[in-house]
Structures are given as structure tokens and as C-alpha cells.
Structure 1
Amino acid sequence: MGGKITIEVRLFATLRELFPSECRGVKEVELPAAASIHTLLDRIGVEDKTTLILMVNGRRVKDFDLNLAEGDRVALFPPVGGG
């Protein structure tokens, strides 16, 4: 089985600091085949997973055990506050 997948990750607001500045918040990330969102978050260094807003291929996702597939696009947003 094995193998690898490549996904596009877009980080917004303060999360952009996890990638080098020249990436401008967008980077392709290589993961083991059928890696979960948890695996991705660990790989890119996201520490607080409880308050993230997460989208995969334009759809809101709350299940971090979801397996990713080749070519998926993942967007991560920090929690949104307001007043």
C-alpha cells in the first residue's frame, strides 16, 4: 500500500506564521497516503486544534480523523471573535 499524497494547504491570519513568509500562507504538503487531518496538523505544527475552523475542498469539516486524498485543498482559519 504505502505511497504519498500531496495536498495544498492555505493558512489564514495568525496561522500564516507556521509557513515561511515567502509562501504567503500557501504551501503544498506531502503526507503518507490516507493521512488524516490530525496528521496534517501535526506535520505543519498546529498546536491548538480545538478552536480551528477547517475547510477541505471548500466544505467545513469538524472531523479531524477524516482521511485526506491526493489533490485535496485544506484551508485553516484561527477562531473568529467579535463584539
Structure 2
Amino acid sequence: MAEKIKIEVRLFANLRERFPKESRGVKEFEVLEGFSIDDLVDLIGEIDRSTVIILKNGRREKDFEKKLKAGDRIALFPPVGGG
């Protein structure tokens, strides 16, 4: 039987709207061991995987199949534009 682990998720810019306003874009999740970044994106809902920037524990992560571990910190950023 898979154990539950806790992870922290931080959403930035317009993605913050997916969490309650008082959370300020930060939420702790309790998920089953073996949960992947892809599973997390599904849980948060309607995020374009082709453009979102994901950091796992402060480092860019492009492998959405990467399994999460207890205490991981995940940050999601929308695409960035500029001039």
C-alpha cells in the first residue's frame, strides 16, 4: 500500500488564481507516494504543459513523469514574455 507524502506547490502570476486568494499562491498537498509532476498538473487543472515552466526544489524540471518525494517544493510559472 502506497504511503502519503506532503509536497508544497507555489503558483505564480495568473496561475495563482487556481488556489484560494488567501493562500497567496502557496498550498500544501498530501498525495500518494509515486505521484508524478504530470499527476500534480492534472490535479491543479487546465495548465498548458507545453508552455508552463516547472521548478522542482529550485531547479528547472522538464520530465513530467518524474516522481515526487516527501518535502518536494514545486513551483509553476506561466510563459514569460518581454522585450
Aligned to 1:28: 28
- Structure 2 length as normaliser, TM-score? 0.94
In structure 1, C-alpha distance between the alignment counterparts of 2:68 and 2:81, rounded to whole Å: 28
What is residue 63 of structure 1 aligned with on the other side?
Answer: 63
What TM-score, normalized to structure 1? 0.94
**Aligned pairs (5 A) from 1:45-56:** 45-56=45-56
Task: List alignment gaps of at least 5 residues for structure 1.
Answer: none
How many aligned positions are there? Answer: 83
Q: Show CA shifts across 1:13-51 (max 9, x none).
A: 000001010100000011111110000011111431110
Match of 2:29, as an amino acid? V
How far apart, in 2, do the equivalents of 1:31 and 1:14 lie? 24
Q: Which residue number corresponds to residue 42 of structure 2? A: 42
- 1:79 matches 2:60: no
**Structure 1: which 4+ aligned runs deviate by more than 6 Å?**
none
Q: Distance in 2 between matches of 1:24 and 1:69?
A: 23
RMSD of aligned residue pairs (Cα, Å): 0.9
Q: Which amino acid aligns with 2:37?
A: I
SS of aligned partner of 2:47: coil
Q: Secondary structure at the match of 1:42?
A: helix
Aligned identity (percent) is 61
